Structure 1
């Protein structure tokens, strides 16, 4: 509802949403996100190659911690394969989706440092703020979490506990653009940056209006769906995006004929 109201205000004023929110960045960085644990090594390499070689994206993220962390050797094999393919100049991130115990996460993070992994997302459950903080103190890899935040208190507790190096915020969960700005202010007060979780074409507009912004998760599934459903979606090629200043609102139009095939009768 909050996002829709900002969109309506931008339509009334004939402005891009990013400018209405108070744009401070010309463009913002992004990272390619996917690398699911059910992918074979070949499938993982193909996806990474598309991002890095074809689209020129200098940051990529893959999933680890399949079956609640019980396949750590497989995780490390996939990380080695990823680093070998992308080379040393591309930033490599991993996302455990709360899959490890604190002990497992501590063992894994030593290997992540070896392969110059820069970002360890949700190594343990995001409710374990003490566990996140202790792991953060034990490694040079950035610890990230926050995508499940639905209110400002959640973000304040996470930041106050010293649990993360970068606070993730999902604009479709946190309460829209208005609450995003408040969460970003909480992070800024602690000297932290924020990163956008998913919803890339919505996130871009609030990202360019956030001074302490790091990057957008350009999630493979969301990117695919948004291209199917909308005209005017942004192109992640090159690793940065910027809202179209010539287009009002979000700059996207629903492809009604293309979407019709997915309608479900009541």
Structure 2
């Protein structure tokens, strides 16, 4: 006789702000800390985990707006619960923090459902692979040469065959320095490592086209957000002018965004902690597939790996240095990127992670 699946009993959330080891910057933003908002969904004797990298303002959105909508609903009915939350936030505006809050709760619901069923989250999502490729990501524009070299070597020492650095420094105001740093990267990692770059929307269309020519000569294979991701025509123009893959999509907060973005990129990026969680990830990946595209996971590596294992048209995970550090400190059971890919286990339940509450508490906001 089968057990009846439990209802959601409680939804909790808390924010934690962790300082960066040194000040960090990309082409268009600087920061010295990162905030993670952790959501927990309780049902019977299981607790599901989810999180988003966003402002602490997500906490009251989760506990005050989303929690009442799903409390008392069946924990296994994740898409139905997602739809109920989506309807509740209609007048709040989907893009931005609201979608980040939705993402954290959706991920926690999938984790709780998988834990109750005693299966890995990737299996519940619909596994199609065990391993997911990745690339080491960081290379901040605030780094001096020694810091950049040390980080690059930390990746190659772990046999990671793809690395990405930031360019577009000072809103595209230092293109010579950008190219020098890319050259230093190539010199450091050698000819057999794939080099990717991210301008974070720092260039104009003309700058990006000229930079693409120079980057191609240095063997760069990936040009992320060469112009603002809001400039779809500009992305399309840059893409048409270069052999380098143009990528964008990390600021996608709803399905329509990805439908607009897909025709103007070579690889569609999705952030599972922003887009609406695993539920919306699956639909966004389908949009990419319908356009003949692969998807790449933006950051949150230990969540992205589960989505990667359930996505046929998947390319790689951005193994972002800040998020690797935070997740390794706050969660037990994190995956090992050695060798340039991660194996998503077929054993265990849910995400396979345990929240280290005592480790997180000193950073509580």
* TM-score normalised by the chain length of structure 1: 0.97
Residue aligning to 2:146: 42
Unaligned residue ranges in structure 2 (runs of 5+): 1-104
Say which structure is richer in strand. Answer: 2
Q: Please list the CA deviations of residues 178-218 of structure 1 after superposition, one character each: whole Å capped at 9, or x if unmatched.
A: 11111111110111000000000000001010000000000
Q: What SS is found at the alignment partner of 1:28? A: strand
Partners of 2:350 and 2:358 lie apart in 1 by 22
Displacement over 6 Å in runs of 4+: none
Matching residue of 1:129: 232
Alignment equivalent of 2:288, drawn from 187, 196, 199: 187
Match of 1:205 in 2: 306
Match of residue 104 from structure 1: 207
TM-fit CA distance, 1:244: 2.3
Report which stretch shifted further, 138-147 or 247-256: 247-256
Matched, 1:196 2:297: yes
Encode CA deviations 1:238-262: one digit per residue, 9 max, x unaligned: 0001222221010111112222222
Match for residue 220 of structure 2 among 117, 126, 129? 117
Rounded to whole Å, the distance in 1 between the matches of 2:276 and 2:357 is 27
Aligned residue for 2:134, secondary structure, equals strand
1:21 aligned residue (125, 130, 141): 125
Residue 162 of structure 2, aligned match among 42, 55, 59: 59
Corresponding residue for residue 11 of structure 1: 115
SS for the counterpart of 1:261 is: helix
Identify the range of structure 1 (68-77 vs 240-249) with the bigger mean alpha-carbon deviation. 240-249
Q: Take 2:276 and 2:330, find their aligned partners in 1: how far apart are those partners?
A: 23
Measure the CA separation in 1 of the matches of 2:135 and 2:302: 13
**What CA distance in whole angstroms lies between the structure 1 residues aligned with 2:227 and 2:348?**
41
Contact 2:130 2:345 in 1 (8 A): no
Cα deviations by residue, 1:42-83 (Å, 9 ceiling, x for unpaired): 11011001101x210000000001110000000000000000
